Structure 1
Amino acid sequence: MFSSKKQDPFFASLLKIAESVNEAVHYANDFKITSIADLKELSVTLKQYETDGDKLIHELIFMLNKSFMTPIEREDILELAVRMDDVLDGIEGCIAHFEMFSLTEVDDYMRDFLKYIVKSTDEIVAAMGHLTNKKLIAMRDHSILIKDYERKCDDVLRTSIKQLFLHEKDPIRIIQFKDIYEQLEEVADYCQDVANTMDTIIMRNA
C-alpha cells in the first residue's frame, strides 16, 4: 500500500511527537526530588515539554489542513497524535500536583507506576518507528506490551490504595497520595488509548 522509498512527513511528525513524550516521561522518572526547589524545577521543565508538545500537534494539524493526500485517514493521524499528547499532558499534570502538594516523597508504588509508563512510551516510540518505515503489522507487538503495562498499573493502583488506607493515619497524606496514584494510573490509561488507536490503524490499513 505504501511506497517505502520516501519517508512520509506525517509519519515522521508522529514519531517526533512520540519521542517528545518519551523524553518528558524519562526526564520525570530520572529526576531526583530532594527539596521543594527540585519540585519547582521539575514542574517548570515538564510544563515546557507540554508546551513544546502542543506546538508539535499544531504543526501536524497545519500539515493535515493543507495536504490533499495523506498516507492513512487524516482522522487516524490526528487521533494518534492527540492520544500521545494526552500522555504528555497527564504526566505534566501529575508533576504539577507534586509541586502543589509540596510532596518531595516518592514511594515504591509511584516508582512502579513510572516504570511501566516509561516502558509504555518506549514501546510507543518503537511502534512509531515501524509506522515511519511503513511496517504497520510490526506495531502490533508494541501495542500488546503497552496494554500489559496498563494492566500492571491497575494492579499497582489497587495495592497502593489498599495499603494507603491500611497504614496511613494522616488524612491529608491519604488525600495527596491517593490523588497521585490515580493520576499516574490515568497516564497509563492514556498510553493504552495510544495502543488502541494503533490497533485501529493496523486494522484499517495493514
Structure 2
Amino acid sequence: MLKRKKDKFSVLLTEIAKNLDETAEYFVSYKVTNQTTLKEFSDTLKEYETKGDNHVHTMIKELNKAFITPIEREDILQLTNSLDDVLDGIEHFSATLEIYSITSSDEHIDKFSHYIRECAKEILITIDLLAENRLKDIHPHTIKIKEIEHNCDNLHRKSLKNLFGKETDPIKVIQYKEIYETLEEIADSCQSVANNLETIIMKNA
C-alpha cells in the first residue's frame, strides 16, 4: 500500500520539531567552559532560533494562502507558536548566561537540561504521529511531557531552596534565580505543546 503523502503543514510542523530536537541536543551536549565557548554556545543557539523563526513565518504565510487545512488553522498556528516558544526559551537561556558571563553549570541546570532534552524527543515523536494522522497514539507522549514538566516544577523549587539556603552573594542569587526560572519556563512551554496537541486530538479523533 502506498504511503499517504504528507500535507505541507505536516511537513512544516515536522521541520519545526526537528529543528527543536536538534537545538535541544546541542543545548544538553555542548559544554561551556570559558567566555569563548559561551559565545559560541549563545551564537549557535541564536542560529537555531532564527531558523525556527523562518519556519514559523513560512507556516503563517501558508496558512494565510490556504483555502482549507487538514485541521483548524487556529490549532495549527497555536501548535506552531508553542513549539517556537520552547525554542525561544532555550535561546533566551543562552543569552542570559552570556549577559551574566556565567561559564559553568551546576547540578540543577544539568538536570533541567536533561529534562528539556527528553521533552524535545517526545515532542518530535508526537509531531511525527500527527503528520501520520495517528492521533490516538499521541496521548501517551503528551502524558510523558507533562510528567517531565512536573519533575521540572519540583526541581525548580529544590534549586531555589538550595540557592537561598547556601548562596551568600546577592548578585549570584539574582542571576541564578533568573536562570532557574528561565529553565522552568521552557518546561512550561513544552507542556503548552502537549496541551495544544491534546486539543487537536479532542477535536479530530
Do the two structures share a fold, i.e. TM-score over 0.5? Answer: yes
Distance 2:176 2:25 in 1: 21
1:54-203 matches, cutoff 5 A: 54-203=53-202
Post-superposition offset of 1:6 = 2.1
Give a deviation string over 1:99-138, Cα, whole Å, max 9, x none. 1100011000001111111100100000001011110111
Q: Which residue number corresponds to residue 32 of structure 1? A: 31
Distance 2:171 2:37 in 1: 22
Out of 18-27 and 84-93, give the one that drifted further.
18-27
Distance 1:142 1:197 in 2: 13
Distance 2:175 2:11 in 1: 39
Q: Which residue number corresponds to residue 204 of structure 1? A: 203
Q: Which residue number corresponds to residue 8 of structure 2? A: 9
- Structure 1 unaligned segments of length 5 or more: list them: none
The amino acid that maps onto 1:136 is L
Distance 1:56 1:101 in 2: 30
Out of 195-204 and 167-176, give the one that drifted further.
167-176
Question: Helix, strand or coil: the match of 2:104?
Answer: coil
Give the number of equivalent residue pairs: 203
Runs of 4+ that moved beyond 6 A: none
Question: Helix, strand or coil: the match of 1:137?
Answer: helix
- Structure 2 unaligned segments of length 5 or more: list them: none
Superposition TM-score, scaled by structure 1 size: 0.97
The amino acid that maps onto 1:111 is D
Post-superposition offset of 1:28 = 1.2
Distance 1:89 1:127 in 2: 20
The alignment yields a C-alpha RMSD, in angstroms, of: 0.8
Superposition TM-score, scaled by structure 2 size: 0.97
The amino acid that maps onto 1:112 is K
